[in-house]
Amino acid sequence: MENQDKVKQMNGSGVKPGLAAEPTMRAQGKSEKVRDVAPADHRTPKAKSRGVNVYYGAKQALFSIDLDIFENEVTALIGPSGCGKSTFLRCLNRMNDVIDICRVEGKIEIDGDDIYSSGLDVVQLRERVGMVFQKPNPFPKSIYDNIAYGPRIHGLAEGKADMDEIVETSLTKAGLWNEVKERLHDPGTGLSGGQQQRLCIARAISVSPEVILMDEPCSALDPIATAHIEDLMFELKENYTIVIVTHSMQQAARVSQRTGFFHLGELVEVGKTEQIFQNPVDQRTQDYITGRFG
């Protein structure tokens, strides 16, 4: 708890240059959360996509996606394989830039900033929008250096003590501290799969991002490690905005507050999780969640 407070403080005190607007945004999110009961979609979204089309070469993968993502919530994206969930997720931190043939149209805003505007610094965007991948991908470095990687390249720590603290806080938040505190200097690749995935989550939160994107973070894990990570998401959403892609309907139902259903590159339906699962509007959603196709 104490550690969490520290990170909150860090977030709040505007450690990152150029993000001075952030504390107020966060405060807004919090106050909304206090209202709690049925906040309708008139809230200001943390991230907002409008008319997003994505092409891989000549092939269109996403068709005019309009999706709002709210702060301090877990938003789940579900849908059959190949429907474009990962593609959409990767639009949010511009990881699609890495793919030569990929082209994105439309508008995506985070905190009102157009992230595809030409003046935007991709490196800074990715500091604000972290990502956890389907397969755990720790760097072939020590556990400590895996966590310290982001803070080092962004110059977030002043001195060793500061860095030690970031490492400890991040690992604690990812629920890994007690398991690895004795062996921080062993290679991160030597951990078990579930531990590696939590290491990757710790790595993602080490730079105190505002949004964390998770692309099927549990698909390589056993039920116990999965439960661990779901608990973790539950805690993390207090401080972060989380978007998760998952193939498990149960998981989406358990961890998310809002759910979006993708089908063949279209966003068919989005809404509160209970509503999507109990009372879907669209026939395709109905079919998918009852397991009739996909």
Ligand X SMILES: Nc1ncnc2c1ncn2[C@@H]1O[C@H](COP(=O)(O)OP(=O)(O)OP(=O)(O)O)[C@@H](O)[C@H]1O
| Residue 180 to residue 144: CA distance in whole angstroms | 10
Phi first, then psi, for residue 98 (nearest 5°) are -70, -25
Give the DSSP letter string of 33-81: HHH-S---TTSPPSEEEEEEEEEETTEEEEEEEEEEE-TTSEEEEE-ST
Residue type, 39: P
DSSP state at residue 117: S
Interface with other proteins, residue 176, by CB under 8 A: no
Strand pairing class (211-215; 241-245): parallel
**Interface with ligand X by CB under 6 A: which range of 78-86, 146-154, 249-257, 273-281?**
78-86
77: partner contacted, choices ligand X, Mg ion, other proteins, none (Cβ within 5-8 A by kind): none
- The contact pattern for ligand X, residues 97-136, with x = CB under 6 A and - = no contact, is --x-x-----------------------------------
| Residue 38 to residue 213: CA distance in whole angstroms | 24
- The contact pattern for other proteins, residues 207-246, with x = CB under 8 A and - = no contact, is x---------------------------------------
Phi first, then psi, for residue 264 (nearest 5°) are 50, 45
Tell me which residues in 86-145 interact with other proteins (CB under 8 A): 93, 95, 98, 123-127, 130-131, 133, 135, 137-141
**Interface with other proteins by CB under 8 A: which range of 22-30, 34-42, 147-155, 223-231?**
147-155
Q: Which residues bind other proteins (CB under 8 A)?
A: 93, 95, 98, 123-127, 130-131, 133, 135, 137-141, 149-150, 153-154, 189, 200, 203-204, 207
